[in-house]
């Protein structure tokens, strides 16, 4: 049985550890410069100076004039700014050519524009998520006024030839919006050289703080503010600037050359991981391009015949943090839109993991990660009992002494699937705060809506010393599909169901 020995974080595309330099700079600003940069007195002038200096430092990191940098609350806000920019297009150029593998922050923005009358034209990625510039030219229409394509994909690490795409857009008199969140700090970024009109960035992807992002706006590019109600950011974005976060962003930007200096070594470590996984599991499928067509530390891999949520829970039990290639527990049976657009089936998408290594990954950590994957996927690792939906009978539901945990991410008013009878509801993100309510001397069945959260929490509980554990495979949705009569008859019908609204408050897995 594999024993937990190390903690190795391999989900760097989700967020990064805040660096010591960034933490130090933020503490300095919080302690000594708390004035509002827009106020007229001396302390405010100091704050305004910090804001101006941060703008210059971030601009230097991406080779942009300082006045083209707009600080936002996050990259999601930066992308949503497109909702105010797009209406400035000519009435004859209301079509948008876009990469269907974009982050949801961009896709949801584009879908909003579609509801406002814009036409959406998706590009066609290949099996590794690549979109060739030739595809952009072949898909072009006379009414296209905007091209949208990210620089690097957050799930597969696929890189796009942004410079050539921008040239095509410019030749057709169209604008180009580029989400560069996953590119900054991993590959060189030069917004002027690549010719984009707009680019979004996020601090917490480069070891900066959460809660601050940026939008690059090429000089002369049409712009309208998305946030209204103040004169901040040269009247381009209302709201008092989060000065400590912005200062932290600038400190993180200063360290980008150091991150880039480690990129080649990180790419070699990724290739070592891929080679080891292929040797151990020849049936696995790598969904990420190799070499220079991919981020240095990202790989998406499908393990046919597995459930990514289960594997992720087992890896987490051994101290290895990775992400699933499928959607989180939203109450819908929806696999990753990125993977399905690349041609993977729903089953393949649900058997896919994303590993995104940190720049500072040590050789020892890499060896440990490879060993853990080997133990888990070969069936030698520690396991929790799995209950298939067809096995969840009336006898199991009402078995003596069983304690049923129902994990939820949303308030009860938004539940799409009814909980099991006699279940006790807990918030997925803060289950650690409720361990005192979960008995160790009773058999425990862990459930969730669609099956992604239950394995993670089951293995978390195992790590906390619980031994009589089972989780429901595919969640309540799987049970509803497998046994619709039992679902209709018993779901949320039993008087023992708990209804404590305090259990729906978000928190942290502790």
Per-residue confidence at 5, pLDDT binned at 50, 70, 90? Answer: low
> How does pLDDT run across 168-207, given as a tens digit for each residue?
999 999 999 999 999 999 999 999 999 999 999 999 999 9
CA–CA gap between residue 24 and residue 12 (Å, rounded): 21
Residue 228 has pLDDT above 90, yes or no: yes
Q: Phi and psi for 477 in degrees, rounded to 5?
A: -60, -45
> How does pLDDT run across 230-277, given as a tens digit for each residue?
999 999 999 999 999 999 999 999 999 999 999 999 999 999 999 999
Residue 504 has pLDDT above 90, yes or no: no
Residue 327 has pLDDT above 50, yes or no: no
Neighbour tally for 20: CB within 10 Å: 10
- The enclosing domain of 219 has a CATH number of 3.40.640.10
Q: State both tokens at 47.
A: 């704050």
- The enclosing domain of 460 has a CATH number of 3.40.250.10
Per-residue confidence at 349, pLDDT binned at 50, 70, 90? Answer: very high
- How many independent structural domains does the chain possess? 3
Q: Are residues 225 and 369 both part of a single domain? A: no
**Torsion, CA 24, CA 26, CA 28, CA 33, rounded to 10:** 170
Q: Are residues 279 and 213 both part of a single domain? A: no
- The enclosing domain of 294 has a CATH number of 3.90.1150.10
Active site residue 294: no
Residue 469 has pLDDT above 80, yes or no: yes
**For position 477, what pLDDT does the model report?**
92
Which domain-ending residue is among 204, 224, 254?
254
Written as one string, the DSSP assignment of 363-402 is HHHHHHHHHHHHHHHTT-S---EEE-GGG--HHHHT-TT-
**For position 333, what pLDDT does the model report?**
52
The closest of 252, 230, 251, 226 to 241, measured between CA atoms, is 230
Residue among 74, 149, 328, 448 flagged as catalytic = 328
* Mean pLDDT on 327-355: 81
CA–CA gap between residue 230 and residue 243 (Å, rounded): 16
> How does pLDDT run across 278-301, given as a tens digit for each residue?
999 999 999 999 989 999 999 999
**For position 325, what pLDDT does the model report?**
57
Residue 495 has pLDDT above 90, yes or no: no
CA–CA gap between residue 298 and residue 395 (Å, rounded): 45
Residue 3 lies in a domain: no
Q: Are residues 355 and 233 both part of a single domain? A: no
Contacts by 258-261 with C-beta closer than 8 Å and gap 24+? 259/185, 259/186, 259/206, 259/207, 259/359, 260/185, 260/186, 260/187, 260/188
**For position 91, what pLDDT does the model report?**
94
* Mean pLDDT on 341-354: 95
* Mean pLDDT on 208-224: 98
Q: Are residues 431 and 348 both part of a single domain? A: no
Interacting residues of 208 by C-beta distance below 8 A, sequence separation 6+: 16, 18, 19, 22, 245, 248, 249, 251, 252, 253
Residue 1 lies in a domain: no
Q: Are residues 347 and 395 both part of a single domain? A: no
Higher pLDDT, 429 or 304: 304
CA–CA gap between residue 287 and residue 293 (Å, rounded): 12
**For position 411, what pLDDT does the model report?**
73
Q: What is the mean pLDDT of the chain?
A: 91
Residue 100 lies in a domain: yes
Per-residue confidence at 509, pLDDT binned at 50, 70, 90? Answer: very low
Q: Are residues 299 and 356 both part of a single domain? A: yes
Residue 249 lies in a domain: yes
Residue 178 lies in a domain: yes
**For position 49, what pLDDT does the model report?**
96
CA–CA gap between residue 90 and residue 384 (Å, rounded): 59
Q: Are residues 179 and 297 both part of a single domain? A: no
Residue 412 lies in a domain: yes
Q: Are residues 163 and 181 both part of a single domain? A: yes
Q: Domain residues for 282? A: 8-15+262-377
Strand pairing category for 175-179 and 198-202? parallel
Residue 491 lies in a domain: yes
Which domain-ending residue is among 314, 348, 377?
377
* Residue 402 half-sphere exposure toward CB, CA atoms < 13 A: 22
**For position 496, what pLDDT does the model report?**
39
Residue 508 has pLDDT above 90, yes or no: no
Interhelix angle 363-377/308-317, rounded to 10 degrees, is 130
Q: Are residues 31 and 167 both part of a single domain? A: yes
Per-residue confidence at 413, pLDDT binned at 50, 70, 90? Answer: low
Q: Are residues 94 and 60 both part of a single domain? A: yes
CA–CA gap between residue 30 and residue 25 (Å, rounded): 9
Q: Are residues 247 and 298 both part of a single domain? A: no
Residue 509 lies in a domain: no
> How does pLDDT run across 114-155, given as a tens digit for each residue?
999 999 999 999 999 999 999 999 999 999 999 999 999 999
The DSSP element (H or E) to which 407 belongs, if any, is strand 403-408
Per-residue confidence at 379, pLDDT binned at 50, 70, 90? Answer: confident
Which domain-ending residue is among 254, 278, 306?
254
Strand partners, 198: 177, 217
| CA 198 centroid distance within chain | 21
Neighbour tally for 269: CB within 10 Å: 21
Q: Are residues 416 and 363 both part of a single domain? A: no
């Amino acid at each position: 049985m594999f024993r937990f020995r190390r903690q190795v974080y391999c989900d760097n595309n989700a967020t990064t550890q805040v660096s010591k330099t960034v933490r130090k700079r933020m503490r300095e600003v919080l302690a000594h410069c708390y004035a509002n940069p827009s106020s007229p007195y001396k302390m405010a002038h100091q704050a305004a100076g910090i804001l101006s200096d941060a703008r210059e430092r971030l601009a230097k990191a991406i080779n942009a004039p300082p006045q083209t940098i707009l600080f936002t609350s996050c990259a999601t806000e930066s992308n949503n700014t497109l909702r105010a920019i797009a209406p400035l297009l000519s009435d004859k150029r209301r079509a948008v050519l876009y990469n269907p593998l974009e982050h949801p922050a961009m896709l949801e923005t584009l879908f909003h524009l579609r509801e406002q009358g814009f036409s959406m034209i998706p590009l066609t990625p290949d099996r590794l998520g690549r979109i060739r510039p030739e595809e952009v030219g072949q898909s072009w229409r006379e009414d296209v006024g905007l091209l949208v394509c990210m620089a690097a994909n957050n799930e597969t690490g696929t890189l796009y030839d942004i410079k050539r795409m921008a040239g095509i857009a410019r030749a057709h008199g169209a604008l180009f919006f580029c989400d560069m969140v996953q590119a900054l700090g991993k590959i060189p970024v030069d917004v002027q050289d690549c010719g984009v009109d707009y680019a979004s960035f996020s601090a917490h992807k480069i070891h900066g703080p959460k809660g601050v992002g940026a939008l690059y706006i090429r000089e002369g590019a049409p712009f309208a503010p998305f946030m209204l109600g103040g004169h901040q950011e040269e009247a381009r974005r209302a709201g008092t600037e989060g000065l400590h976060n912005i200062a932290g962003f600038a400190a993180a930007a200063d360290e980008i050359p150091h991150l880039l200096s480690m990129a080649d070594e990180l790419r070699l470590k990724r290739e070592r991981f891929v080679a080891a996984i292929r040797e151990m599991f020849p049936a696995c499928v790598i969904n990420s391009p190799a070499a220079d067509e991919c981020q240095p530390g990202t790989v998406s891999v499908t393990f046919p015949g597995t459930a990514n949520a289960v594997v992720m829970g087992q890896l987490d039990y051994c101290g290895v943090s990775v992400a699933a290639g499928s959607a989180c527990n939203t109450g819908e049976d929806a696999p990753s839109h990125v993977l399905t657009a690349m041609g993977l089936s729903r089953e393949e998408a649900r058997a896919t993991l994303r590993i995104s290594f940190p720049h500072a990954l040590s050789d020892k950590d890499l060896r440990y990660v490879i060993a853990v994957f080997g133990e888990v996927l070969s069936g030698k690792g520690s396991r929790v009992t799995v209950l298939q939906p067809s096995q969840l009978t009336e006898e199991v539901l009402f078995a003596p002494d069983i304690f049923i945990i129902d994990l939820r991410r949303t308030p009860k008013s938004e539940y799409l699937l009814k909980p099991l009878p006699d279940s006790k509801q807990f918030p997925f993100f803060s289950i650690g705060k409720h361990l005192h309510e979960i008995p160790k001397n009773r058999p425990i069945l862990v459930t969730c809506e669609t099956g992604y959260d239950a394995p993670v929490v089951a293995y978390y509980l195992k790590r906390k010393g619980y031994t009589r554990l089972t989780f429901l495979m595919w969640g309540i949705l799987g049970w509803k599909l497998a046994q619709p009569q039992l679902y209709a008859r018993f779901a949320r019908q039993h008087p023992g169901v708990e209804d404590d609204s305090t259990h729906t408050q978000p928190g942290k897995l502790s």
